[in-house]
Structure 1
Amino acid sequence: MSYRLSILDQSPIFPGTTASHALQQTVLLAQKAEEWGYTRFWVSEHHNAEKLAGSSPEVLISYLLSQTKTIKVGSGGVMIQHYSPYKVAENFHVLSNLAPGRVDLGIGKAPGGLPLSTKALQYGTVNDGKDISDRLSFLVDLIENSVDSAHPLAGIQATPIPQEKPEIFLLGASATSARLAAELGISFVFAKFINSDDRVLESAANQYRAVFPNGRLIVSLAVIAAPTQTEAEQLVGDRKIVKVHLQSGRSVTVQSIDQAEVFGRQSGEPYEITEQEADIIAGTPGYVTEVLSQLQKTYQVDEFIIHTPIELEAARFQSFQLLSPLGITNVQSLIR
């Protein structure tokens, strides 16, 4: 295998279960991912979401690090628009001191929720007027302990400084995000399960490599593996990608038409909703591996982070195990 394989877990709350159960399954999946040979295990940030338990990646990462031994654990990602870059750096420096060399700091540009949750996150805080690129640039300087002497906060450090810094990744779905990551000299993760346009991926890959030829280019995909092609396709079902396009020019991907309507109303501006087939790679382990290998060759991808949108716990665990980088495909009972 000429690429690495990792997992993004959103801690889904399945029908008839609880958030506590969902988080315990995330812990179990992280432990299994380590056993199966995955490179890293990332958890997401979603706010005010009834079907997802992952709202605080920093807290969950800390627990996951204590429950695993070798796998890299990180955020996919921390939504930087809501937070002080200084506090984010402090949080991840503490984590990196607790588990040297095992902490990833993935940064997202999206809100991670509906407009109401964004207002709640920023309620009572001071808006300094900085855009996301400024926040990200300052965060990189803090992690690198290299805040410029001309900066208004020159001399500041995000203590405790770890011996091994967390690796920084920018998550995005556009060539603009890829170029920003390249200019900052950090790894870039293209979210293909959000933007399935191969032309955008090609442009993002080309711009990233042109500016930062030695950088790490990762593609995040929705993948469902099963023992047979028929089983995998049945698990996909009729999944859609739903997007809300605001008059201001911003577009946001949500989970359903109903959620899109709520987002549009809460945004306070005119909007349009579009729906398209979900971009999911589904099939046997051999088929999925073939598709990933072709993508790797076409775009010179260093690593894939897979997300598995299945509403059946056993099938979801089975999918990850069937794709095990160590070739562990003897599927047994995995759910406690």
Structure 2
Amino acid sequence: MSYALSFLDKSPIHGPEGATAALQRSLNLVKRAEDLGYRRFWVAEHHNSPNLASSSPEVLIAFLLARTSRIHIGSGGVMLQHYSAYKVAENFNLLSALAPGRVDLGVGKAPGGLPLSTRALQQAYDPERKPSFAAQLAELDGFLSHGDVGQSQTESPLAFPVPDQPPGRFLLGASAQSATLAASLGWSFVYAAHIHGDATAITEALSAYRTAGGTSALLAVSVITAETNARAASLGGETRRFRVEVEGGQAVNVGSEEQALEYVRQSGKTQYQIEERSPRLIRGTPSKVHVELQQLHETYGVDEFIIDCPLSDGAQRLKTIELLADGRTAIAA
């Protein structure tokens, strides 16, 4: 086996515990992942979500970097539509200067929440002047590249500090359009199969990425693993995804039909479509999981998997990291 494993964490709040406990668990998870040779540990961005503690990945990344020494830590991802590309570049250049060679900037097109939080995040924007996502990403890429740091700053500011090693750049998506955009900027592309796991869609997106000149594709998948297949089957987990599109708005993916209907309600629209999507979920013993990962590795030519564990129980999330690491030859540190 010749693929690397990385882990995506959303800092879920389990049962009656508070956010502090959930974030402490994220720290415990990243330390264990580092000890076991995982390549990356990414944290997500979610807004107005009472069951998730990770609303600001930049802050959490800094906390985790300060308490680890080797593993790459990054965002999975920053929801760029809400922010100034310049400020995102400053944040990640500063993180990269603090931890050279260990910072990943993953960017997503989704809002990371429902319309109420999106309006709160974007209320200072003039909608007529807000750039497209593609324009924002290109602007961000330019700020990260710095150009000639000795050039005049009278026309365009530079995003200081200039780190010795810039952050890794990853675009998260589940479409050929996103894949092509990533390739056009020389960014790595992470196909979100844990959200939309249709085999044809994966093939089309990765093919589009490579045709456009992309060279580094990763695959995000959901994994529920245990010592036996029966135990893995009994663990449950949030395994359904719904794509909701309202008239004149952005299509988004949510975790339940109830969330999809709430999205529609908050949008105030009457014309909408809701479509259930099937995430790529691998469930079973570690050996069964690795057999399927190997098949995906060979089918799609990806050399790294971002593992999403759709369980909120902290003990089981830790167990997932440990059990998958038992197949040590599958992890390229």
Give the TM-score normalised by the residue count of structure 1: 0.92
Amino acid at match of 1:41: F
Q: Is the 8 A contact 1:5 1:325 kept in 2?
A: no
Name the CA distance, whole Å, in 1 between partners of 2:93 and 2:198.
36
Corresponding residue for residue 174 of structure 1: 175
- Report deviation, 1:78: 0.5
Q: Is the 8 A contact 1:37 1:326 kept in 2?
A: no
Name the CA distance, whole Å, in 2 between partners of 1:165 and 1:276.
36
1:61 and 2:61 are equivalent in the alignment:
yes
1:253 and 2:253 are equivalent in the alignment:
yes
Amino acid at match of 1:300: G
Q: Is the 8 A contact 2:224 2:309 kept in 1?
A: yes
Once the two structures are superposed, the pairs formed by residues 91-240 of structure 1 within 5 Å of their partners are 91-127=91-127, 128-146=129-147, 154-213=155-214, 215-236=215-236, 239-240=239-240
Q: Is the 8 A contact 1:104 1:169 kept in 2?
A: yes
Name the CA distance, whole Å, in 2 between partners of 1:114 and 1:306.
24
Name the CA distance, whole Å, in 2 between partners of 1:111 and 1:238.
20
Name the CA distance, whole Å, in 1 between partners of 2:114 and 2:249.
16
Corresponding residue for residue 272 of structure 1: 273
Name the CA distance, whole Å, in 2 between partners of 1:95 and 1:181.
22
Q: Is the 8 A contact 1:140 1:184 kept in 2?
A: yes
Name the CA distance, whole Å, in 1 between partners of 2:143 and 2:228.
48
Amino acid at match of 1:283: G
Name the CA distance, whole Å, in 1 between partners of 2:124 and 2:249.
27
Q: SS of the residue aligned with 1:236?
A: coil
Change (3 A) 1:238 1:6: closer
Change (3 A) 1:159 1:261: same
- Report deviation, 1:315: 1.6
Q: SS of the residue aligned with 2:171?
A: strand
- CA deviations over 1:244-289 (Å, ceiling 9, x no partner): 2323374211122222221111112222333355431101111111
4+ runs deviating over 6 angstroms: none
Name the CA distance, whole Å, in 1 between partners of 2:167 and 2:299.
29
- Report deviation, 1:237: 5.7
Q: Is the 8 A contact 1:37 1:325 kept in 2?
A: no
> Could you tell me the percent identity over the aligned residues?
47
Name the CA distance, whole Å, in 2 between partners of 1:176 and 1:3.
26
Gaps of 5+ in 1: 329-336
- With CA pairs under 8 Å and 6+ residues apart, which has the higher RCO, 1 or 2? 2
- CA deviations over 1:307-331 (Å, ceiling 9, x no partner): 0011322122111110117739xxx
Q: SS of the residue aligned with 1:244?
A: strand
Corresponding residue for residue 86 of structure 2: 86
Gaps of 5+ in 2: none
Of residues 301-310 and 311-320 in structure 1, the stretch that sits farther from structure 2 once superposed is 311-320
Q: SS of the residue aligned with 2:325?
A: coil
Name the CA distance, whole Å, in 1 between partners of 2:296 and 2:243.
25
Of residues 66-75 and 123-132 in structure 1, the stretch that sits farther from structure 2 once superposed is 123-132
Q: Is the 8 A contact 1:228 1:284 kept in 2?
A: yes
Q: SS of the residue aligned with 1:323?
A: helix
Name the CA distance, whole Å, in 2 between partners of 1:184 and 1:49.
32
Of residues 296-305 and 228-237 in structure 1, the stretch that sits farther from structure 2 once superposed is 228-237
Q: Is the 8 A contact 1:236 1:282 kept in 2?
A: no
Q: Is the 8 A contact 2:92 2:105 kept in 1?
A: yes
Corresponding residue for residue 290 of structure 1: 291
Name the CA distance, whole Å, in 1 between partners of 2:48 and 2:240.
21
Change (3 A) 1:277 1:216: closer
Change (3 A) 1:276 1:85: closer
Give the TM-score normalised by the residue count of structure 2: 0.92
- Report deviation, 1:67: 0.7
1:315 and 2:319 are equivalent in the alignment:
no
Number of aligned positions between the proteins: 325
Name the CA distance, whole Å, in 2 between partners of 1:257 and 1:144.
41
Name the CA distance, whole Å, in 2 between partners of 1:188 and 1:31.
26
Name the CA distance, whole Å, in 2 between partners of 1:275 and 1:44.
22
Name the CA distance, whole Å, in 2 between partners of 1:82 and 1:153.
26
Q: Is the 8 A contact 1:38 1:325 kept in 2?
A: no
Amino acid at match of 1:233: A
Cα RMSD (Å) of the superposition?
2.1
- Report deviation, 1:243: 2.5
Name the CA distance, whole Å, in 1 between partners of 2:202 and 2:66.
36
- CA deviations over 1:49-70 (Å, ceiling 9, x no partner): 0110000000000000001110
Q: Is the 8 A contact 1:49 1:113 kept in 2?
A: yes
Q: Is the 8 A contact 1:45 1:77 kept in 2?
A: yes
Q: Is the 8 A contact 2:246 2:272 kept in 1?
A: yes
Corresponding residue for residue 72 of structure 1: 72
